[in-house]
Structure 1
Amino acid sequence: MKQNTYPIEQVVPHDHPMILIDELLSYDDEKAVCQLTITPKSNFYNQAKQSVPSHVAIEYMAQSIAAFANANEKDKGGEVSIGFLVSSRKFKVHVSEFKLDAKLIVSVEQLYLEDSGLSAFDCKVEQDNEVVAQAKINIFQPNDAEAFLAQQ
């Protein structure tokens, strides 16, 4: 895997504060690794509990998939585009929340990509080398997202 050189804002098609991951660490044609640290400024942070609910992991996974796809697209001279989370299967969380200062590593691996733009990913979130969340996620990335949205 190659080390990433793109700032997260260049590969995740959101604006702050909706960018939830801190960094794309590395990627190749099949997988990517991202990271984030839970802080009081993290989106969905609960000040009273000093944590983020673990169900937010699904969005960490989705944004890591976006970083993977867009970094690879930028490497080919292409443009950043949006994709749509179609469904998730086997989403499991092994903790109820991500505590303040937790360092999370998000790994995504593409299982397949169809010509239609549909793809599937095996995803996991680790903390201290332990899997704390996992899912299989299906993504749809149309060739022309603007045209697709206009038709909807």
Structure 2
Amino acid sequence: MVNYKSAAAYLPHDAPMVLLDRVLSVSDESACCEVTVGEGVLAPFLTAQGDLPAWFGIEIIAQTIGVWAGWHGRQVDDLKPSPGMLLGGRGYRCEAAAFPAGSTLKVSITLLMRDEKIGSFDGQITIDGERYASGRLNTYQPDREELHQLLQQGNNG
């Protein structure tokens, strides 16, 4: 059994933008993480009723992809993970307008296709074993030079 670090160890984000509590598993083609809707990492984003708006599911799935990429990157060079980009999503569906307060979201992603820079992943969020949200996300991993250029353009624009 692998002892995983916190999700933050595999993501380039800092609090409060790390939206995952735990890393459950990472393999060559998949990853699984959890987060509980409550006073933890999601607290700043909850509704007055304590629910998490369903559209946060896209970012939670994207961060699980980031954990997958960051974990694999750490196996190679143990450097701080570099930012990736969400190119878009297809068919994101959620069974309700919000994830209920107190629920534990189990987030699973599966790699569909990947080359050096572009990846496509199926993601799903389950609560108590029942699918609550799902969708396909496409990502882009810029190399260090591209990232530097993008950041320079952002600072000059």
TM-score normalized with structure 2 length: 0.88
The answer to whether 1:57 aligns with 2:53 is no
Q: Is the 8 A contact 2:6 2:21 kept in 1?
A: no
CA RMSD of aligned residues (A): 1.6
Q: Indicate conservation of the 8 Å contact 1:87/1:137, yes or no.
A: yes
Structure 2: which 5+ residue stretches go unaligned?
none
- Structure 1: runs of 5 or more not aligned: none
**Residue matched to 1:75:** 75
Measured after TM superposition, the shift of residue 119 of structure 1 is 0.6
Note if contact 1:32-1:68 (Cα within 8 Å) is conserved in structure 2. Answer: yes
1:98 maps to 99
Quote the sequence identity (%): 29
What CA deviation, in whole Å up to 9, does each residue of 1:43-64 have, x standing for no partner?
31012x2211111100100100
- Go from structure 1 to structure 2 and tell me whether the alpha carbon gap of 1:148 and 1:138 turns closer, same or farther (over 3 Å shift): farther
**Higher relative helix content:** 2
- Superposition deviation, residue 104 in structure 1: 0.5
Alignment correspondent of 1:133: 133
Q: Paired residue for 1:14? A: 13
1:24 Cα offset (Å): 1.2
TM-score computed with the length of structure 1 as normaliser: 0.91
- For residues 127 and 10 of structure 2, the distance between their equivalents in structure 1, rounded to whole angstroms, comes to 23
Shift of 1:67: 0.4
1:3 match: secondary structure: coil
The amino acid that maps onto 1:56 is F
The equivalent residue for 1:38 is 37
* Structure 1 residues 136 and 4: alpha-carbon distance in aligned structure 2, compared to 1, 3 A threshold: farther
Runs of 4+ more than 3 Å apart: none
Distance 2:76 2:125 in 1: 28
What is the CA–CA distance in structure 2 between the aligned matches of 1:5 and 1:131, rounded to whole Å? 25
Aligned to 1:68, the other structure's residue is in SS state helix
Instruction: Provide, for residues 72-99 of structure 1, a one-character-per-residue CA deviation record: whole Å limited to 9, x for no partner.
Output: 1101224211100000001111122111
